[in-house]
Amino acid sequence: MRAMILAAGRGERMRPLTDTCPKPLLRAGGRALIEWQLLALRRAGIVDVVINHAHLGTMLEQALGDGGRWNLRIRYSPEGEALETAGGIANALPLLGEGPFLVMAGDVFTDFDPARALTIAPQMQAAGLKAWCVMIDNPPHHPDGDFALRDGRLQVDGAPRLTFSGIGVYRAALFDGIAPGTKAPLAPLLRDAAQRGLAGAEYFGGRWTDVGTPQRLAELDAQLAQRHERRAGA
């Protein structure tokens, strides 16, 4: 299985920090945000990684290189202008192989285990699903959620509402009709797949932080520093 980390966003809410540094390279707990994702993928045994980029993308490539220091193989999908989530994924499809692939957001901190995708992929194939989404409790900044979850399927309507974590496993067919280099959001594709019974989902109750503002970045950095101190003192 291959994985894609989404890293093309401008990070407007994170300015002025992102004026000179791509958001995934901002640091928390002594590491760049995206490095936490790379380490999780390596532990899961998912070693082929695609990263898209636009804003300050060359800095991202210079910082991460070919992934060899993490025993990964990193390839890049540059975008002259950010193509939004579905557009970025569609543009990178030639690098993502034939089977289902995992997608994660480069600006999220989570203890979700990417190895779960290795179990889900064959189940998706058997059930004919085009998408599988990880759903979480609604964070304070997104109280109304995105979708409902019922019997392992994503639902457009219903309650309780949950928030899409940005973590998903997809098949290339979900992106049919999106030409390379075209801007396209992901939400309409997921809604369409859900309405046709082609989107699976499951609830994740572990740690998940959308590091979308300087305040959240500072809070995460402090929490990780405290965790390190506790472990060092154990």
User: Over the stretch 116-139, which tens digit does the pLDDT of each residue have?
Assistant: 999 999 999 999 999 999 999 998
What residues of the chain score a pLDDT lower than 50? Answer: none
The predicted structure's pLDDT at residue 137: 95
Number of domains in the chain: 1
Q: For every residue of 81-142, which 3-state class applies, written as one string?
A: CCCHHHHHHHHHHHHCCCCCEEEEECCEEECCCCCHHHHHHHHHHHHCCCEEEEEECCCCCC
What pLDDT score does 13 carry?
74
Q: Which domain holds residue 88?
A: 2-233
Single pTM value for the model: 0.93
Residue 234 is predicted with a pLDDT of: 55
103: domain CATH number? 3.90.550.10
